[in-house]
């Protein structure tokens, strides 16, 4: 690395450090306002769910909204799969996520509240955002990201809730959503900070 590269690197480092320190209180506030589930099943959407929290904390609201749409759909498909709900209709077409949410709620697999917040995410400009339609200019992404990340927390809490009993054992409220091994243990995704 030559001298001009070192100088440029030092300048960029100082800029980034300054930006981070100037926003630290906002990031802390955003992180604390999310009541995320600290432990969830270690499924294909778990890592994305964790990363989504970081996006929101760091103020990437458009990316947060986009990611929440995908995670919501992934969790709904997962719940349907675990309850043997088929995605295909009798005519061969595929059920929409909204139809799947309704079916899960009507069958008692998710609560009305869970269904409502999941539909709330689904209906929150999903197509406009994912296809970058011109109407995205009218969306207030900060507020939408805050609303939807709280909605997603509600869904994860319902599906992956647990308590710790007097013996210090984690008791899963809905074990069918966890991959329990023959020895009674399960693989979890931890977000405990």
**Do the domain assignments include residue 24?**
no
Q: Which domain holds residue 110?
A: 34-190
Q: For residues 132 and 54, give the distance between their C-alpha atoms in angstroms, rounded to a whole number.
A: 23
For 46-60, what is each residue's pLDDT tens digit? Answer: 999 989 999 999 999
Report the number of distinct structural domains present in the chain.
1
Pair 101, 119: CB distance under 8 Å: yes
Helix, strand, or coil (residue 87): coil
**Do the domain assignments include residue 9?**
no
**Do the domain assignments include residue 66?**
yes
For 94-105, what is each residue's pLDDT tens digit? Answer: 999 999 999 999
**Do the domain assignments include residue 18?**
no
The string of DSSP letters for 21-73 reads HHHHHHHHHHHHH----SEEE--TTHHHHHHHHHHHHTT-HHHHHHHHHHHHH
Residue 32 has pLDDT above 90, yes or no: no
**Do the domain assignments include residue 16?**
no
Q: For residues 139 and 144, give the distance between their C-alpha atoms in angstroms, rounded to a whole number.
A: 8
């Amino acid at each position: 690395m030559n001298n001009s590269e070192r100088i440029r690197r030092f300048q960029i480092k100082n800029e980034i450090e300054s930006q981070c320190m100037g926003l630290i209180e906002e990031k802390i506030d955003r992180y604390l306002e999310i009541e995320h589930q600290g432990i969830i099943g270690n499924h294909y959407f778990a890592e994305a769910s964790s990363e989504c929290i970081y996006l929101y904390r760091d103020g990437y609201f458009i990316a947060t909204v986009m990611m929440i749409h995908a995670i919501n759909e992934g969790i709904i498909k997962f719940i349907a799969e675990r309850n043997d709900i088929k995605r295909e209709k009798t005519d061969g077409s595929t059920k929409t996520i909204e139809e799947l949410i309704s079916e899960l709620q009507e069958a008692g697999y998710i609560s009305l509240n869970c269904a409502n917040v999941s539909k709330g995410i689904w209906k929150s400009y999903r197509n406009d955002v994912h296809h970058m339609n011109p109407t995205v200019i009218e969306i207030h992404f900060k507020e939408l990201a805050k609303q939807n990340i709280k909605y997603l927390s509600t869904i994860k809490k319902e599906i992956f809730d647990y308590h710790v009993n007097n013996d210090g054992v984690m008791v899963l409220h809905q074990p069918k959503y966890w991959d329990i091994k023959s020895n009674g243990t399960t693989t979890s995704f931890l977000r405990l900070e």
